[in-house]
C-alpha cells in the first residue's frame, strides 16, 4: 500500500530545473532509498515534499491526504518527519529537552515556554528510551553542544522519531560520520525495519543502501531514472553510467558480491 505518493513534481531555480516531472511512491512499512549523483535533485525533492521549499508543480499525498504546498510544520503534523544534511540541534538544551521540543512541535511553530506544557510531550521515560536507542544514554542530561558531529546526527534522528511519525526521511545520515556511528545507524535502521517504520533514505553510501533498503529510486538530472529493488538497481547499466565514479564502483562491487 502506498503511504507517500509524489506525482509530477517540478522545481526550478533561476531557470534551472532541479526536479523535473518526478513521480514515485513509497510503500508503508518499507525502507526506500533515493539515490543519484550530486545535483540529481534528491534533497530538493525532499525539501518540496517536507514543506521547506514550495514546488512549482506536482502533487504530494501522505496516507491519502493532500499535503501539496503545505508548510513544514503542517507536514510534520500530518506524520512526516525528517533530518537534514546539516545537523540541527538546540545546543544550549539537554538531550532530553531537545526531544521534548521535537515531540511538542517545531520551534518555529511553538515557542519554548509553550512547548514545556504541551500535552503532546511524552513522559521522560519515553524520551530516555529514544535517547538510549541511539546510544546517547550517558549524555541525556548534558547540553547538546558537547556532542560530536556524528552524535548530533544520532540525536537528530531520535528527535525525528520521538513523535512516532508515519514516515521519517533521513537526509544523508552517514555523511561525515565515523565507522562507529555508521554501525549505530545500521543497527537502528535494522530495528526500524523490524518495527515496520516507513523510512526514506537519501544516501551516497551505496553498500549501506543495498544492505538496508527494500526499494530504491534512482534520480538523474531531476528525473527518475528507475525505481526497483536493490537487485534490479545493481543489474541496471543506466545506474552505473549515471554515477561514473566511486559510487558506481560500490554498485559494481555489490553486484559482484
Rounded to whole angstroms, the Cα distance separating 120 from 106 reads 12
Domain-located, residue 176 = yes
CATH number at residue 37: 3.40.50.300
Do the Cβ atoms of 192 and 138 come closer than 8 Å? no
Q: What is the span of the domain harbouring residue 35? A: 2-87+160-256
pLDDT value of position 147? 95
C-alpha cell at 226: 528507475
Domain-located, residue 98 = no
Question: In Å, how far are 55, 201, 213 from 240, measured between CA atoms?
Answer: 29, 20, 18
Domain-located, residue 146 = no
Question: In Å, how far are 94, 129, 238 from 167, measured between CA atoms?
Answer: 26, 19, 29
pLDDT value of position 118? 42
Q: pTM for this one? A: 0.84
Residue pLDDT, tens place only, 16-74: 999 999 999 999 999 999 999 888 999 999 999 999 999 999 999 999 999 999 999 99
pLDDT value of position 12? 96
Whether pLDDT at 124 is above 90: no
Average pLDDT, the chain: 87
Domain-located, residue 92 = no
Average pLDDT over residues 144-152: 94
| Buried-exposed string 101-128: b where 16+ CB fall within 10 A, e elsewhere | bbbbbeeeebeeeebeeeeebbeeeebe
- pLDDT-derived band at 122 (thresholds 50, 70, 90) equals low
Domain-located, residue 49 = yes
Write the Ramachandran bin of 170: left for phi over 0, alpha for psi from -120 to 50, otherwise beta. beta
- Cα 20 off chain centre by: 21
Domain count, the chain: 1
Domain-located, residue 106 = no
pLDDT value of position 222? 94
pLDDT value of position 1? 75
Amino acid at each position: 500500500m502506498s503511504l507517500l505518493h509524489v506525482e509530477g513534481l517540478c522545481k526550478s531555480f533561476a531557470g534551472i530545473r532541479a526536479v523535473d516531472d518526478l513521480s514515485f511512491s513509497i510503500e508503508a512499512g518499507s525502507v526506500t532509498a533515493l539515490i543519484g549523483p550530486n545535483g540529481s535533485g534528491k534533497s530538493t525533492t525532499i525539501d518540496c515534499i517536507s514543506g521547506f521549499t514550495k514546488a512549482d508543480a506536482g502533487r504530494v499525498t501522505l496516507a491519502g491526504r493532500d499535503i501539496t504546498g503545505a508548510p513544514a510544520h503542517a507536514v510534520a503534523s500530518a506524520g512526516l518527519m525528517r533530518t537534514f544534511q546539516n545537523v540541527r540541534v538546540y545546543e544550549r538544551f539537554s538531550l532530553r529537552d531537545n526531544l521534548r521540543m521535537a515531540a511538542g512541535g517545531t520551534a518555529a511553530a511553538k515557542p519554548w515556554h509553550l512547548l514545556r506544557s504541551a500535552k503532546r510531550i511524552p513522559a521522560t521515560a519515553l524520551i530516555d528510551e529514544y535517547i538510549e536507542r541511539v546510544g546517547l544514554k550517558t549524555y541525556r542530561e548534558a547540553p547538546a553542544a558537547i556532542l560530536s558531529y556524528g552524535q548530533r546526527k544520532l540525536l537528530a534522528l531520535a528527535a525525528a522519531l520521538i513523535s512516532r511519525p508515519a514516515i521519517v526521511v533521513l537526509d544523508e545520515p552517514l555523511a561525515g560520520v565515523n565507522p562507529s556511528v555508521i554501525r549505530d545507524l545500521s543497527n537502528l535502521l535494522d530495528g526500524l525495519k523490524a518495527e515496520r517504520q516507513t523510512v526514506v533514505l537519501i544516501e551516497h553510501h551505496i553498500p549501506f543502501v543495498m544492505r538496508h533498503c527494500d526499494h530504491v529510486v534512482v534520480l538523474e538530472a531531476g528525473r527518475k531514472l528507475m525505481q526497483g529493488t536493490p537487485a534490479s538497481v545493481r543489474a541496471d547499466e543506466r545506474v552505473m553510467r549515471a554515477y561514473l565514479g566511486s559510487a558506481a564502483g560500490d554498485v559494481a562491487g555489490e553486484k559482484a558480491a
